[in-house]
Structure 1
Amino acid sequence: MRTPNAKTAPKRINYKLKSQIQLYAIMSPVLILIFIFCYVPMYGLLISFQDWTPGMPFMDFTGQTKWVGLKHFSTFVHDPYFWRLIKNTLVLSAMNLGIAFWIPIIFSLLINEVRLVKFKKFAQTASYMPYFISSVVVAGMALSFLSSDGIINKFIMMMGGEPFLLNMKPQYFPIVYTVINIWRNFGWGSILYLSSMASIDPTLYEAASLDGANRWHKIWHVTLPAIKPTIVVMLIMGVGGMLGADSDMILLLYNPATYEYADVIGTYLYRYGLVGGNFSYGTAVGFMISLINFGMVYLANMVSRKVADYSLW
């Protein structure tokens, strides 16, 4: 015999669906685009297990499809540049995560403490602007600054030093890449933290003031705990992207002289997969890296849930 709760449950679900139909309608275009451009192309992952060339079908029953199993995955692992690619990718991502990740948080904390509204708006706007500059323009500016007659070498000569080509010294590439990333992204990255700070109850600061707390105490005991969930989520996503360094920017900055420190998995895929026409090999490497990234996200999420009591799921 059905209970009253069991009878009313379907009605309750239908009511919720009808009351939120506008939200689903607003979300539907985005969901459709995500499905078309993110999930439908995953069908192409089949070529990572094939010797595929343009014009061949992804799957057929006439024998045209040449299945090779895990051949391309094995080829990448045994590639002589494999460990160099892994090392460079991890080093650049670790520098970005260990340094560039925290700059937006510090900047947002400082901006939140500014009481002059006009200066606060000016500082925020000025910090956002580099993010909207094209990567090509940013890389061009950087290479111009690093050239023999660039502003950096002119400053070195003013200080009595000898000029040298920074963009031809591979050991300096990680520093140059990290500094450019910080300059371009720290303002935009601070938006999320500033929006989290804007939702903090002002009475918490008032209560802290009554207890004799200064600005530092308020930041440490009120602001940071309030934005802690946001920091944890962004950190988990950052860990998940450790093997996905900003390949577009690196491609624009690096040259054969800096491959030793600048060549990462993304640039390797571009050269050997796309430019070299090895589409199956490139797909296999990208698929492998995506699986590793997912594993890192899952592990970081699990650790965060146990240690900080915050997680993505």
Structure 2
Amino acid sequence: MKGKREGMRAEESMGAEEILRKHGLSADGLQQSKSGFTNALFLTEDAVVKIFTEPGGAGFQKESWFYGNIAPSYAPKLLGAGEDYLVLERIKGEGLFRAWRHMTDAKREDTVRCIAEINRELNRTALPEGMPLFDPCRNWGKKLLGRMETALGKLRLNQGVPEELGRRAAEFIRANAGLLQEEALFLVNPDLHFDNLIVAEDGKLFMIDFEMLEAAPADYAVHVWNRMEIHPFNYANEEDDPLTLPEDYRFLMTWVRKYAPELFAYPKSDVRIAMYSLVYELELLCDFPKAVNPVERIGKYLEGACG
């Protein structure tokens, strides 16, 4: 389900070398990263070349805008850009999935505090004007509910979710539709899982992926952490997947609530977050109807929000 690219095609490697030289950067030690989920990532000692599979796609447009216009302290520096690639500063350090399993609970808690600060700073970033991908429309909740209904319709056809569970999910969504009429939208990263965070050698935390940025309610970011607490391995890269254990994440949501209380200040916050989580899982099941983990998570969301 992770859709990770495998292997280094010769033309991609040559393309990365040419890109680096074009921007006056060394290609010495060039190698492909295994952390890329959909795009090709190449590393040198000082730079990361990210070659997009969809050059004109939404992810490329969002990330190009972010690196080209925003220079936050929590993101790598932009070293170069083209029609289908970005060249970024390589942060010396360790991915948070790997670092997390060696941390004490006290250190993990402090790391969540840092993530909350990064998320808060991102939310304060002004939405770009005249860019349809971030259009702060007032029917955000209606669009999300439409996605849920579309996914449920597909799942009824391909039997991608147990009938009783699908019925409960549909009833829950329709009963709580009014909670998603949101008037204030922010710049949100709903993909802020630990494979998109790096702990630098000096201990500073960096965010490294902005392809899924959205104009959304601030609490929309929470559903990724909600999911991680149940099945964190779903977001781990290939090397860290087998060593990523749910018990290491048992306090994750407790700490998120402690250090990002503003994300839980909405009426019926748990219900809203469950709805965000449900639409993710339902759409995932449309692509992978035999997957077990999304079905298990749907049950947990409904139990938690309705219990």
TM range, normalised to the smaller chain?
under 0.3
Please tell me whether Structure 1 or Structure 2 has the larger radius of gyration of its CA atoms.
1
How does the TM-score come out when normalised to structure 1? Answer: 0.21
Higher strand share: 2
How does the TM-score come out when normalised to structure 2? Answer: 0.22
Structure with the greater relative contact order (CA < 8 A, sep ≥ 6): 1 or 2?
1
